[in-house]
Structure 1
């Protein structure tokens, strides 16, 4: 069973790439806006414009991941307050606490998005952490 994905005329879809975090030649959009919903592609702890990971293991990459998310959102006129759900993938789930310490710094106390976290094997370019998010305008 096949077919093309169809979007009604009332639902505009924008596929955006700012080039501020990831190279624009990768086979995915940085941010897709469908109606009032924002879909942010998985972000890793790469140094902006490269696929080189930030130093410092999980803590260093976690800081860079969150900076990359913030930068991607801001490049398109949104902010961390627009996020409603994040999914966190950790190469070593035992480092969940280290990630949480960094993650909490990016939101107002008590104003966290819904979230899931799990251990994953084989994240992009050997990353220790990857985070994707959904938001609203």
Structure 2
């Protein structure tokens, strides 16, 4: 489900809000659409109810991607239409484990990707993933 920006009704930007993914934990939207693009905000390994998925970077990666899938679907896209992702990891030494889980989720789709090690992530998670996708339904 998308909701329009509070404006004069002519904007092509719409905010995404879905209960199938955790709510934003700050002053931002789960995602936005603009024309035929869907921008999913960084997704943490939280369940839809906001509880944290504890465990390995692989387990957290899979939950973050499940959340991405929910946000993308609410915006009219899917994992299959992802153009670009950015993966933020707390420890680059976990790259291989994260990469294996990521590959399992995306399969042969293999969008363009950047992976960046960061000092700290919200809720002290191990991974956060954002995406840009092509919108397949208007």
* Unmatched tracts of structure 2, length 5 or more: 1-8
- Relative to 1, partners in 2 of residues 1:75 and 1:34: Cα closer, same or farther, differing over 3 Å? closer
Which protein has the larger Cα radius of gyration, Structure 1 or Structure 2?
A: 1
Query: Are residues 1:97 and 2:96 paired?
Result: yes
TM-score w.r.t. the length of structure 1 is 0.84
What's the counterpart of residue 3 of structure 1?
A: none
What does the per-residue CA deviation read over 1:75-113, in whole Å, with 9 as the maximum and x for residues that have no partner? 33321111100000000011011111111112232x211
Aligned to 1:75: 74
Q: How many residues get paired?
A: 127
SS at match of 1:89: strand
The verdict on how the C-alpha distance between 1:25 and 1:44 changes in structure 2, with shifts beyond 3 A counting, is: closer
Question: Structure 2 length as normaliser, TM-score?
Answer: 0.83
Secondary structure class of the residue paired with 1:104: helix
Structure 1 residue runs of 5 or longer lacking an equivalent are 1-8
Q: Cα gap change, 1:114/1:25 in structure 2, threshold over 3 Å: closer, same or farther?
A: closer
Higher mean C-alpha deviation, range 59-68 or range 16-25: 16-25
Q: Residue in 2 aligned with 1:19?
A: 19
1:104-119 map, 5 Å: 104-109=103-108, 111-119=109-117
